[in-house]
């Protein structure tokens, strides 16, 4: 295997490899690719920047395209190795040559982009020394409109309840895990009530996804039953029940408030009184009567009242 700079005579080979790359790792669905423009850019890179080809017995098996961005930043836009030639050091050889050439051009830092879903490539790049310095996030426009409209209606709040009397172990677990979620101004572990220790965290209370992560982590660490319970967007009452870190039951008072769901998911967000009763000791009939679902908030008690009723049925202690 050898690596050399590509010339204008190699353009057909480069274009063939680039098209194979795009077919295997297509861009996100919202990106419209202008193939003619992309291929013209390859011609420009061959002429003015860094274009490399890897060969095995005169057969092209990999390409790398790179350029300088400013005076100090080298940017690798494309790196591809055919399936048959992988795990043979081809990608590393291409990158070594590119890094050397970019360094000669004045680069102090080399940057590349990789799709979040391309876990194999990300693992290789991290092993070479690349670090995540910028995260690009995207969402469907309609989804954003819906969720931002809901977010504007009210704040989220919630707590985590751990089925234990061992406050000290929960305090240790919270101290170890909460910093990984982000900066919290206030975290408090309350004494047990009816066999439940309540954990309040300022950051997790505002972010339902983080509240669930905290609950699952505490369930995993204690090998026990843990519940996250709160009000999302000021409207939806939701609890998520974990046992040994595994989801046991989930309830949302308005299952499709944040957007349409498949019928099976809507059903799954109705409380399962039998499972909850077995894990918490709650009376299934009372939970079934309280943990109702509806298509709008008008069909239910206020979120605060509904949350208080669930707290009472589950024996979690006084409401927050």
Q: Is 6 exposed, middle or buried (0-12, 13-18, 19+ CB in 10 A)?
A: buried
Q: Which structure tokens are listed for 203?
A: 């950051």
Q: What's the pLDDT at 253?
A: 97
Give the range among 140-154, 175-189, 272-286 with minimum mean pLDDT: 140-154
By three-state DSSP, how is residue 78 classified?
strand
Q: What's the pLDDT at 161?
A: 98
Mean pLDDT of 101-116: 94
Q: Which structure tokens are listed for 107?
A: 């680069």
| Local confidence band at 176 (pLDDT 50, 70, 90 cut-offs) | confident
pLDDT digit string, tens, across residues 57-90: 889 999 999 999 988 999 999 999 999 999 999 9
Closest among 163, 139, 134 to 151, alpha carbons compared: 139
Q: What's the pLDDT at 223?
A: 94
Q: What's the pLDDT at 152?
A: 66
Average pLDDT across the chain, whole number = 92
CA atoms of 208 and 181, how far apart (whole Å): 12
H-helix segments, 2-113: 11-24, 35-48, 90-104
CA distances from 103 to 44, 66, 74, 126 (A): 20, 12, 8, 20
Phi/psi at 233 (nearest 5 deg)?
A: 55, 25
By three-state DSSP, how is residue 111 classified?
strand
Give the range among 113-122, 159-168, 230-239, 265-274 with minimum mean pLDDT: 113-122
Q: What's the pLDDT at 318?
A: 58
pLDDT digit string, tens, across residues 32-55: 888 899 999 999 999 999 999 999
In the block, residue with structure tokens 């006084």: 318
Count of residues in the chain: 320
Q: What's the pLDDT at 102?
A: 96
| Local confidence band at 168 (pLDDT 50, 70, 90 cut-offs) | very high
Q: What's the pLDDT at 160?
A: 97
pLDDT digit string, tens, across residues 243-259: 999 999 999 999 998 88
Q: What's the pLDDT at 151?
A: 66
CA atoms of 234 and 116, how far apart (whole Å): 32
CA atoms of 46 and 110, how far apart (whole Å): 19
Q: What's the pLDDT at 216?
A: 96
- DSSP class of 195: T
* pLDDT exceeds cutoff 90 at 314: yes
Q: What's the pLDDT at 181?
A: 74
Q: What's the pLDDT at 27?
A: 85
CA atoms of 248 and 101, how far apart (whole Å): 55
Q: What's the pLDDT at 260?
A: 86
Q: What's the pLDDT at 103?
A: 95
Which domains, from first to last, does the chain contain? 2-128 (3.40.630.30), 154-314 (3.30.70.1270)
CA atoms of 130 and 74, how far apart (whole Å): 13
| Local confidence band at 107 (pLDDT 50, 70, 90 cut-offs) | very high
């Amino acid at each position: 295997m050898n690596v050399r700079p590509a010339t204008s005579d190699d353009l057909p080979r480069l274009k063939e490899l680039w098209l194979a790359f795009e077919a295997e790792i297509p861009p996100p669905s919202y990106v419209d690719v202008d193939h003619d423009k992309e291929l013209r850019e390859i011609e420009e890179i061959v002429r003015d920047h860094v274009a490399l080809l890897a060969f095995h017995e005169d057969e092209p098996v990999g390409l790398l395209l790179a350029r300088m961005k400013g005076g100090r930043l080298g940017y690798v836009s494309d790196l591809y190795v055919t399936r048959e030639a992988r795990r043979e050091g081809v990608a590393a050889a291409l990158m070594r040559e590119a890094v050397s050439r970019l360094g000669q051009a004045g680069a102090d830092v080399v940057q590349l982009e990789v799709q979040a879903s391309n876990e194999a490539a990300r693992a290789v790049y991290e092993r070479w020394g690349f670090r995540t310095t910028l995260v690009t996030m995207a969402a469907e426009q309609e989804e954003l409109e819906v969720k931002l409209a809901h977010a504007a209606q009210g704040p989220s709040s919630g707590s985590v309840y751990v089925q234990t009397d061992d406050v000290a172990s929960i305090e240790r677990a919270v101290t170890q895990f909460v910093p990984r979620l982000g900066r919290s101004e206030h975290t408090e572990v309350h004494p047990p009530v009816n066999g439940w220790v309540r954990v309040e965290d300022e950051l997790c209370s505002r972010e339902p996804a983080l509240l669930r992560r905290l609950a699952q982590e505490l369930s995993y660490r204690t090998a026990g039953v843990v519940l996250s319970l709160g009000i999302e967007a000021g409207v939806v009452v939701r609890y998520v029940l974990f046992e040994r870190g595994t989801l046991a039951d989930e309830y949302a008072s308005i299952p499709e408030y944040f957007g349409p769901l498949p019928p099976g998911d809507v059903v799954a967000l109705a409380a399962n009184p039998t499972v909850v009763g077995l894990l918490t000791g709650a009376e299934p009939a009372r939970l079934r009567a309280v943990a109702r679902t509806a298509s709008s908030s008008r069909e239910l008690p206020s979120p605060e009242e509904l949350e208080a009723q669930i707290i009472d049925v589950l024996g979690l202690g006084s409401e927050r």
